[in-house]
Each structure stands twice: as structure tokens, then as C-alpha cells.
Chains A and B, each alone.
Chain A
Amino acid sequence: MELPTYSQKLINIEKRTQRFMLGALGLMLLVLLMIGLKQDYFSRSTSIYFLTSNAQGLSKGMAVKFVGFKVGSVQEISMEPNAAVRVRVSLNDEYLHLIGQDAKARLIKEALVGESVVEIVPGSTQVRQVTQGSVLEFERGQDAASVIESLASQLQPILSDMRQFAATINKPDGDIQQTLKNLNQVTAATREMVNQVTRLGVSGNQKLDSVYLKLDQALEHANSSLGALDKAIPQMVERADTTLSNAQEVTNIIKQVTQDSAREIPSLINNVNTLVQGGQETLDGVQQSWPLNRMLPKVEEQRLPVDGYVAPEEP
């Protein structure tokens, strides 16, 4: 009587185990399927390549974006026999028709502080679309550090120009200082001449000859000064022109950098805020957990100590 019941129980256990195993297997397959979907194992893709002189900033798995959408990823980075770096990129076929053979691959940073991605810069739509094995031109986008570096290198000659310009003006025996000195002398001579003319008017025409002579000398002096000024001014204008055009160029770069950064700064601040908030929450959680909650002093309201002394009245 007991044996059939026992064997029945065994059969039941076996059935349940089978069901459990099947369920677990099904679940495992489902997870694998989801991983595969997430990793784009089931979407059709086309491999294209680009070549670069060094692999700095590039890594396997890096996202490839086209007009802001992820369209693929970097699959392989290898070195060619001629030391060039060959990068294989897998592009989702869905977007392939949008990328022409003349498109470019560019390594950029998504934000001032952010991860690097390979951006596909669209080429002309008239050109045939990329196919398996196509090779794209590659360029490196400028990051904040390189922009600042180039800005600094462009500012340097301007500053040295300005320094030189200021030095030329201040040079005591330089053209400008000499010209100013000469002009001063001419002014003094003219003033003297006018005085003499006045005196001449009072005392008659006796000294008219000497006055004419001095007037001649003064005019000659003025002529030579103006000549020197004539020579100096074109040089000065030319230098000022160069300086101003350099300054204009730098202003444009600064404007461009500011515009580029302006779009990124709010999101950067937002990210930092979220990060700080998250960090604070984590810290609060840790502080409230054992054993730290025993070690840290509790924030509790405290009494000020009473001071039991009253100073005597002063005479």
C-alpha cells in the first residue's frame, strides 16, 4: 500500500523539478535575449573603417553618433604594419542610407566634462552611401584644453606686438619721442618768434632781418620733424593694423568658445547638482548606518553654559 504512494510522490517531485528546470532555462534564455537586444546582436549592421595616426581617446565600445543619435559603436582598434591605427566601426543598417561616402568621422567630447564619442559628420547626400568596408576620413575635434592652448598661442604674438609697440613709443631716442621733442622745440621757437614780431611792431623794423632768419630756421626744423613723422606713421599704422586684426581673430575665437560652452554649461551645472545631491544622500545613508551612526556625534540642541559670576559695579 505504501510503495505506490512513495513512487507516486517521486514522480510528482520529478515533474516539479522538470517544470522548475524548464522555467529557469526559459528565464535564462529571456535574459540572454534581452542582453542580445541591448547589445544590438540582432540588428543588422555594416562595418566601416577609418584610419588615424594614434589611438588616443579611442576605445572599444565607444558610441558612434550621427546628428546626436547613437547609430553604432567602435568594434575594433588595431595597428597596421605602417603604425597607422585602423578603427572598425559597426553602423546600424537602419541609418546607413543617411551616411555618404564623403562623410567624416570625428572624435569629440560631448560636453566640457563628458565622455568622448565618434561623431559622423554627414557628407553630401548626392554621393553614394557607405557600404561594408568603406573607409571614412577621420579628424579630431577640438576639446576645451586644445582651444585654450591655441588661444594662448595666438594671444602671445599679439601681446609681444603690443609690448613692442609700447616700447617704441616710450623709447627716448625713438622716432615718436624725437618728433614730439622737435614739435615742442618748433612750438617754442614760434612762440619766441611771435614775441619778437610783437616787439618789432613796437620798436620798428630794425630787427626784421634776424627775425626772418629765425623764422626760416624754425620752418626748416618743422619740415624735418614732419618728415620724420611721415616716416614713422606708416610703420605705426601697419603695426596697429596687424595688432588689431590679431585681436579681432582672438575675439572671434573667444566668442565661438563662449557660444559653444553656453549650451553645455547649464547641463553641466545640472549634472553637478544631481551628483552633489546623490553624494549627499549616500553620505546621509552611510552616516545613519551602523557602525558609523555610533561614531558620529548626533546633531542635538545644546544649552549654553551658565555663567555664575556677576561683575561688581565699577566705581
Chain B
Amino acid sequence: MSHRHSVWMLLCSVVLLTACGHVQETRSARLVQAAEFNQRAQNAFLHGKYQYAATLYGQALQLDVAIEYVDGIAINTLNLARVNQVLGKTAQAEQLLDQLLNDKALRYAPKYLAEAAVQKALLHLQKGDAVDAVVWADKAVDWCGPDCKLSGVIANVRAGIALRMNDGEQALFWSDRALAANRDIPLEHANALRLQASARLMMNAPDEALRLAQDALTIDKLLGLPAKIRQDLLLLAQVHERLGHTEQAGQFRQRAARIAAVGMK
């Protein structure tokens, strides 16, 4: 074997040994346990077991607080607020978000604060308070910065606010931006399509609205989201009504009612 080969062999052996000997950075057992609770909660949420998800997020949050893992505290507080919102416990959701937004002792990364602000805006919108929703959407933009992953969500929120204010043009403008920003996020893409369909309907363009609502329905069916499918069907019923298709409108309402009867979110 030549000298060069020997050197190569030696170098390869050293690299291999170093690589094999490399051990992942150690994480405390509590941190791993918190992550496990969080993942179990994610699974429960995806399967529609919201109450169980809330319990697990609560356990993860407790652990994160105990070991003062700041990122974990922010993540699980946001998750817990979201689950409470889905469960209809809006007051609790708002309280959790306020805890995060008004915390003077710990400093959270702006991305978490931006998300908290978006959730606040959504809660205000849910209450019918469009003015405060705008305030929180603006705050979200401030925290979000230029390359923010939440820009598509914020655009949808603004479109929703515009619809609540009966401003079809603004709704169309923001939903257009949301469509462009949410190409890779099916949930938000479908939201943008639904919002744009509503905006088109508001602007008396039912044919366009029909196409958009059907597209939204296709995506929501793929995602398997009962509440969203029901919203699409109700919107399609409205569109058909506007088009004078009374019978079809009735069929869509009936389909929406069947989903509501199952009681899944």
C-alpha cells in the first residue's frame, strides 16, 4: 500500500471514529418529557380530542415553567390558548395570551409575540369587535417583521376584518395577498379562497364566488376539517341562492346541517 493510501485510510478512520463517537447534545429528562407531552397533545388536537390536548399542553407548560424553558413556555401558552379558543373558552384563551404579551419577567422571541397578537386579533374578530382586531393585527405586523411566516395568516385576518366591516374591496385586496402568501399552507390557502369567495359574493359576482368556494371545499375535504367543510357548504348555499338555484341551495344547507349534527370541529 502506498504512503498516500495509508494517509487516506488513517484520515478516514479518524473521521469515522470521531463521527461515531459524536453524541447528541444532552437534554434534561424534564425537557424531553415536556416535548413528549407537547407531541401527544399535538396528536390529540389533530384527532379532535381538544379537552385531552388542553390537559397535555397544560402539563407540558408546567414542566417548561419549572425548568424555565422560555421557548417552551411561549409555545405551550400559545397552543393552550388555541385549544381553548377551539373549545369555545374565549375568556381563558385571552387570559393566556395576555399572560404572554404582558410578561415583564421573561423576554419572548418576537415570533411568539406576533402569533399571540394574531390570536388576539382573531378573538376580537370572533367577538365582533373589528376595531380592536385591527389594533392587534397591526401589532402582529410590527412584531412579525419583513420575512414573517405569519404574513399570510395576518392577510387573512385583515380580509376577515374587512368582510365584517362590509368592505368588499378591502376584503378582496387582502384575500388576494393571502392567496399569494399561502401557496404552501393548505389550511390558510383554503381560508383565503373562502374569504375571497365571500368578498366576490359581497361585490355581486356569484359566478366567481362559486368557483372559489368549490376550490376551498376541495382543499378542506382533503384536509378533513369538518367545521371548514361546513362553512364552505353554507357559503355555496348562499352563492346558489344568489344565482337563483333554490333547490341546490337547499341541498347544500342540508349537507351542512348533517355535518353540524355530527358535532365534530
Mark A residues whose CB is within 8 Å of B.
288-291, 293, 299-314
Restricting to B136-169, which residues have a CB under 8 Å from any CB of A? 150, 152-157, 160, 163-164
Q: Which of B42, B64, B187 touches A302 (beta carbons < 8 Å)?
A: B42
Restricting to B12-42, which residues have a CB under 8 Å from any CB of A? 19-24, 32, 34-36, 38-39, 42
21 inter-chain pairs at a CB distance below 8 angstroms, sorted by A residue, are A289-B20, A289-B23, A290-B19, A290-B21, A293-B23, A300-B35, A301-B34, A302-B38, A302-B39, A304-B79, A305-B187, A306-B115, A306-B119, A307-B82, A308-B160, A308-B188, A309-B160, A309-B191, A309-B231, A311-B227, A311-B231
Q: Is the interface of B mostly helix, strand, loop or mixed?
A: helix
Contacts of B72 in A (CB 8 A): 301
A304–B60 Cα distance when bound, in Å, is 14
Instruction: Determine if B118 and A306 form an interchain contact, defined as CB atoms under 8 angstroms apart.
Output: yes
A304–B185 Cα distance when bound, in Å, is 13
A306–B75 Cα distance when bound, in Å, is 12
- Which 8 residue pairs are nearest across A and B when measured between Cβ atoms? A308-B156, A308-B153, A309-B191, A301-B38, A299-B35, A288-B24, A293-B24, A290-B19
Q: Does B68 contact A (CB under 8 A)?
A: no
Spot the interface stretch: B2-10, B100-108, B122-130.
B122-130
Instruction: Determine if B76 and A309 form an interchain contact, defined as CB atoms under 8 angstroms apart.
Output: no
CB distance from A20 to the nearest CB of B (A): 27
Instruction: Determine if B156 and A309 form an interchain contact, defined as CB atoms under 8 angstroms apart.
Output: yes
Q: Does B207 contact A (CB under 8 A)?
A: no
Closest to B161 in A: A310
CB distance from A46 to the nearest CB of B (A): 51
Contacts of A301 in B (CB 8 A): 34-35, 38, 60, 64, 71-72, 75-76
Mark B residues whose CB is within 8 Å of A.
19-24, 32, 34-36, 38-39, 42, 45, 60, 64, 71-72, 75-76, 78-79, 82-83, 115, 118-119, 122, 125-126, 128, 150, 152-157, 160, 163-164, 178, 185, 187-188, 191, 194-195, 198, 227-228, 231, 234
Instruction: Determine if A302 and B156 form an interchain contact, defined as CB atoms under 8 angstroms apart.
Output: no
Contacts of B32 in A (CB 8 A): 299
Instruction: Determine if B126 and A310 form an interchain contact, defined as CB atoms under 8 angstroms apart.
Output: yes
Instruction: Determine if A308 and B20 form an interchain contact, defined as CB atoms under 8 angstroms apart.
Output: no
Contacts of A288 in B (CB 8 A): 23-24
A310–B185 Cα distance when bound, in Å, is 17
CB distance from B22 to the nearest CB of A (A): 5
Instruction: Determine if A303 and B75 form an interchain contact, defined as CB atoms under 8 angstroms apart.
Output: yes
A314–B21 Cα distance when bound, in Å, is 62
CB distance from B108 to the nearest CB of A (A): 12
Closest to A293 in B: B24
Known: A301-B72, A304-B79, A308-B157. 14 other contacts (CB 8 A): A288-B24, A290-B22, A299-B32, A301-B71, A303-B75, A304-B83, A306-B122, A307-B82, A307-B187, A308-B118, A308-B155, A310-B126, A310-B160, A314-B234
Closest to B64 in A: A301
Contacts of B82 in A (CB 8 A): 304, 306-307
Contacts of A291 in B (CB 8 A): 19
CB distance from A19 to the nearest CB of B (A): 32
Instruction: Determine if A306 and B150 form an interchain contact, defined as CB atoms under 8 angstroms apart.
Output: yes
Closest to A307 in B: B187
CB distance from A300 to the nearest CB of B (A): 6
Closest to A287 in B: B24
CB distance from A306 to the nearest CB of B (A): 5
A305–B184 Cα distance when bound, in Å, is 13
Known: A290-B19, A303-B115. A309 touches B75 (CB 8 A): no
Known: A311-B231, A312-B198. A304 touches B36 (CB 8 A): no
CB distance from A180 to the nearest CB of B (A): 58
Contacts of A299 in B (CB 8 A): 32, 35-36, 39
CB distance from B167 to the nearest CB of A (A): 14
Closest to A300 in B: B35
Contacts of B75 in A (CB 8 A): 301-303
Instruction: Determine if B20 and A310 form an interchain contact, defined as CB atoms under 8 angstroms apart.
Output: no
Instruction: Determine if A307 and B191 form an interchain contact, defined as CB atoms under 8 angstroms apart.
Output: yes
Closest to B159 in A: A308
Closest to A309 in B: B191
Instruction: Determine if A309 and B22 form an interchain contact, defined as CB atoms under 8 angstroms apart.
Output: no
Contacts of B194 in A (CB 8 A): 309
Contacts of B125 in A (CB 8 A): 310
Contacts of A305 in B (CB 8 A): 185, 187
A302–B188 Cα distance when bound, in Å, is 18
Instruction: Determine if B36 and A310 form an interchain contact, defined as CB atoms under 8 angstroms apart.
Output: no
